[in-house]
């Protein structure tokens, strides 16, 4: 086959585009970029913990009550027995001043979180303002990371490492990461992300004015007496004003051997993003809403949706959506509890399984308190998802016990007109259940809550529960609603969020490239 110049240009251009995308994904950043404070704790004597970070303010720590120097991690570290700390005063560095912060440390616990006596917390790096802190939490039985933004807003459930993953024999690497542009707060253990939460605002900047301590929490007023003291070893504590990722976490852990933050300054390539994987499981319920309410899932016709038909129009209404048509509930009133007669919503006689996934596309929404995506007959505050007037997405499976909503702030990724893919997964284990919320194929928050059995009716866009108040009517276009009896993985959720598949978009893009190249390679005719 003869390769023409035009086709050669197509190949070169396509390869260039692919290489450009790969280069952007693999852009390396040196480890110490954004490093603002670093306490190796390797002095071996004295009452000062030197800040070894290059440039910026020197944030030396004041060692109080003589913790023992130890040949711990990297032949360095301090051993705390519950009466000492390293006090670090406020500074321009400690204020962070950006929309991100990363805190890294090596710890060797003398006590697991659940074994603490009063007080209920023990600070690894802690402060009364909670701008960015890492600590042991007795009640939650976790090692946690918490960040507060400049509007004094923090995560509803602070990301934590459960005691079952910790021990009192090894040096453990822990890293907390806040990325305000994504609204995410994450915690890593030994190179792997364990938990993620979200801060539901778009303020982003880290709260300023922190006076903290390594090994305790100081009181807010002078002489800043240490409270909530830690027991165990701490070494190689570092603070960045940017979000580190999984690649840096793996480098610092280094299969347990570890790499000290100050030992070298390598360029680190981010881990490749998670790719989409088509789910092997088939949905039990799948409403395409292409002009009808039929179920295309494995549950068949018995699980066809039933319309509660309100006064705005007769029969179900449909409108253009991301995939064909969607159920149009834009005629529903705002901020109105569902009744049998005042608006449109769907119901299906189906009891959600112990493990499962709910997913849908939602667009042309209106933000108000409270725009219901789905709900359940068991309780007005259980097994539901909704959007607040400020654009905060929330979901929960319990009946508001502990106020443990899964949250994500949609204005971080668009406005009220922006279509979104939303998914909830859950896995029951005895009396507890692990739940995760995804927006646009990305895991946004997760936590473990007390299991509550669902009712026998699932609602879409409103609903009336047997207990608690009725859910508000939903308003928007609902599309591709699915229920699985398995908890899909992050890559499988991503594949649902990308329907139509990326390949079709790629072919459309290549068609555009071909057209452009053909036009540019065509010779103008002579007159």
SS3 of 58-113: the string is CCCEEEECCCEECCCHHHCCEEEECCCEEEECCCCCCCCCCCEEEEEEEEEECCCH
* Digit-coded pLDDT (tens) for 421-478: 999 999 999 999 999 999 999 999 999 988 999 999 999 999 998 877 789 999 999 9
Q: Tell me the CB-side half-sphere exposure of residue 88, using CA atoms within 13 A.
A: 33
Nearest to 137 by CA among 105, 96, 166, 175: 166
Judged on CB neighbours under 10 Å (0-12, 13-18, 19+), 274 is middle
What is the rounded distance in angstroms from the CA atom of residue 427 to the CA atom of residue 447?
A: 11
More confident residue, 386 or 503: 386
* Digit-coded pLDDT (tens) for 88-132: 999 998 999 899 999 999 999 999 999 998 789 999 999 999 999
The CATH class of the 285-500 domain is mainly beta
pLDDT at 504 over 80: no
What are the tokens at 9?
Answer: 């240009």
pLDDT at 517 over 60: no
pLDDT at 12 over 80: no
What is the rounded distance in angstroms from the CA atom of residue 291 to the CA atom of residue 289?
A: 6
pLDDT at 23 over 90: no
Residue 526: strand pairing partners: none
Q: What is the mean pLDDT of residues 324-330?
A: 96
Residue corresponding to tokens 């934590």 = 160
- What DSSP character marks residue 115? G
pLDDT at 73 over 70: yes
Q: Which of helix, strand or coil describes residue 218?
A: strand
What is the rounded distance in angstroms from the CA atom of residue 263 to the CA atom of residue 74?
A: 10
Q: What is the mean pLDDT of residues 63-91?
A: 96
Give the Å distances, CA to CA, from 42 to 48, 144, 470.
10, 25, 60
Mean pLDDT for the chain overall: 89
Residue 318: strand pairing partners: 327
Options 1.10.240.10, 3.90.1530.10, 3.40.50.12780, 2.60.120.200; CATH of 29-268: 2.60.120.200
Give the Å distances, CA to CA, from 50 to 209, 470, 475.
21, 59, 57
Confirm if 101 and 239 have CB atoms less than 8 A apart.
yes
Give the Å distances, CA to CA, from 212 to 51, 219, 230, 261.
14, 9, 13, 20
What is the rounded distance in angstroms from the CA atom of residue 6 to the CA atom of residue 284?
A: 49
pLDDT at 268 over 80: yes
- What DSSP character marks residue 291? S
pLDDT of residue 220: 94
Quick one: CA dihedral 388, 146, 448, 481, positive or negative? positive
pLDDT of residue 387: 96
pLDDT band at 182 (very low <50, low <70, confident <90, very high): very high
* Digit-coded pLDDT (tens) for 42-58: 999 999 999 999 988 99
Q: Which of helix, strand or coil describes residue 1?
A: coil
pLDDT at 523 over 50: no
Q: How do the domains of the chain map onto residue ranges?
A: 29-268, 285-500
pLDDT of residue 400: 64
More confident residue, 287 or 118: 287
Nearest to 501 by CA among 380, 323, 326: 323
pLDDT at 524 over 80: no
Q: Tell me the CB-side half-sphere exposure of residue 305, using CA atoms within 13 A.
A: 33
What are the tokens at 500?
Answer: 């139509």
Lowest mean pLDDT among 75-79, 212-216, 381-385, 403-407: 403-407
Percentage of the chain modeled with pLDDT above 70? 89
Instruction: Say how far residue 153 (Cα) sits from the centre of its chain.
Output: 16
Terminus-to-terminus CA distance in the chain, angstroms?
A: 33
Number of C-beta neighbours around residue 463 at 10 A: 28
What is the rounded distance in angstroms from the CA atom of residue 372 to the CA atom of residue 525?
A: 61
What is the rounded distance in angstroms from the CA atom of residue 418 to the CA atom of residue 80?
A: 51
What is the rounded distance in angstroms from the CA atom of residue 34 to the CA atom of residue 178?
A: 14
Judged on CB neighbours under 10 Å (0-12, 13-18, 19+), 176 is buried
More confident residue, 518 or 375: 375
pLDDT at 141 over 90: yes
Residue 81: strand pairing partners: 231
pLDDT of residue 26: 60
Q: Which phi-psi region, left, alpha or beta, contains residue 475 (left: φ > 0; alpha: ψ -120 to 50)?
A: beta
Q: Tell me the CB-side half-sphere exposure of residue 182, using CA atoms within 13 A.
A: 21
Judged on CB neighbours under 10 Å (0-12, 13-18, 19+), 4 is exposed
pLDDT of residue 432: 92
Whether the pTM exceeds 0.85: the reply is yes
What is the rounded distance in angstroms from the CA atom of residue 289 to the CA atom of residue 298?
A: 16
Q: Do domains 29-268 and 285-500 have the same CATH topology?
A: yes
- The per-residue DSSP string of 136-192 comes to EETTTTEEEEEEBBTTS-B-SS--EEEGGG--SSS-EEEEEEEETTTTEEEEEETTE
Quick one: CA dihedral 514, 517, 521, 526, positive or negative? positive
Residue corresponding to tokens 């006689």 = 349
Q: What is the mean pLDDT of residues 189-204?
A: 95
Pairing of strands 318-320, 355-363: unpaired
pLDDT band at 6 (very low <50, low <70, confident <90, very high): very low
Q: 4: Cβ–Cβ under 8 A, 6 or more apart, which residues?
A: 521
């Amino acid at each position: 086959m003869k390769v023409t110049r035009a086709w050669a240009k197509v190949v070169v251009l396509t390869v260039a585009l692919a290489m450009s995308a790969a280069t952007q994904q693999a852009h390396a950043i040196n480890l110490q970029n954004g490093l603002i404070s670093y306490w190796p704790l390797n002095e071996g004597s004295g009452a000062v913990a030197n800040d070894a970070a290059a440039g910026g303010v020197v944030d030396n720590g004041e060692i109080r009550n003589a913790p023992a120097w130890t040949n711990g991690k990297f032949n360095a570290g301090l051993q705390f027995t519950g009466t000492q700390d390293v006090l670090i005063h406020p500074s321009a560095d400690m204020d962070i001043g950006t929309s991100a912060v990363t805190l890294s440390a090596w710890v060797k616990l003398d006590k697991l979180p659940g074994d603490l006596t009063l007080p209920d917390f023990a600070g690894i790096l802690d402060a009364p303002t909670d701008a960015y802190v890492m600590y042991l939490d007795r009640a939650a039985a976790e090692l946690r990371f918490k960040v507060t933004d400049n509007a004094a807003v923090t995560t509803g459930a602070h990301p934590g490492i459960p005691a079952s993953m910790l021990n009192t024999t090894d040096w453990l690497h822990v890293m907390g990461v806040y990325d305000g542009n994504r609204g995410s707060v994450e915690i890593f253990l030994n190179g792997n992300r364990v938990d993620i939460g979200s801060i539901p605002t778009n303020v982003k900047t880290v709260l300023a004015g922190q006076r903290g301590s390594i090994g305790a929490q100081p009181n807010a007023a002078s002489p800043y007496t240490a409270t909530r003291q830690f027991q165990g070893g701490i070494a190689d504590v570092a603070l960045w004003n940017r979000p580190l990722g999984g690649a840096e976490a793996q480098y610092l852990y280094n299969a347990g051997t570890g790499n000290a933050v100050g030992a070298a300054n390598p360029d680190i390539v981010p881990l490749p993003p998670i790719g989409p994987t088509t789910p092997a499981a088939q949905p039990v319920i799948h409403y395409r809403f292409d002009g009808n309410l039929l179920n295309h899932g494995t549950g068949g016709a018995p699980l066809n949706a039933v319309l509660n038909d309100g006064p705005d129009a007769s029969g179900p209404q449909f409108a253009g959506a991301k995939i064909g048509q969607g159920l149009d509930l834009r005629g529903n009133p705002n901020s109105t509890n569902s009744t049998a007669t005042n608006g449109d919503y769907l119901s299906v006689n189906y009891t959600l399984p112990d493990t499962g996934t709910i997913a849908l596309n939602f667009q042309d929404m209106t933000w108000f308190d409270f725009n219901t995506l789905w709900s359940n007959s068991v309780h007005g505050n259980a097994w539901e998802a909704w959007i607040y007037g400020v654009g905060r997405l929330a979901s929960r499976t319990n009946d508001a016990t502990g106020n443990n909503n899964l949250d994500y702030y949609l204005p971080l990724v668009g406005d009220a007109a922006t279509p979104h893919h939303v998914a909830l997964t859950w896995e029951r284990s005895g009396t507890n259940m692990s739940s995760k919320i995804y927006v646009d194929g990305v895991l946004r928050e997760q936590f473990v809550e007390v299991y509550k059995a669902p009712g026998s009716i699932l609602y879409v866009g409103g609903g009336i529960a047997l207990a608690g108040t009725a859910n508000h009517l939903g308003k928007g276009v609902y599309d591709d609603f699915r229920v699985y009896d398995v908890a899909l993985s992050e890559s499988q959720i991503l594949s649902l969020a990308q329907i139509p598949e990326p390949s079709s978009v790629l072919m459309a893009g290549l068609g555009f490239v071909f057209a452009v190249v053909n036009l540019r390679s065509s010779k103008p005719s002579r007159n």
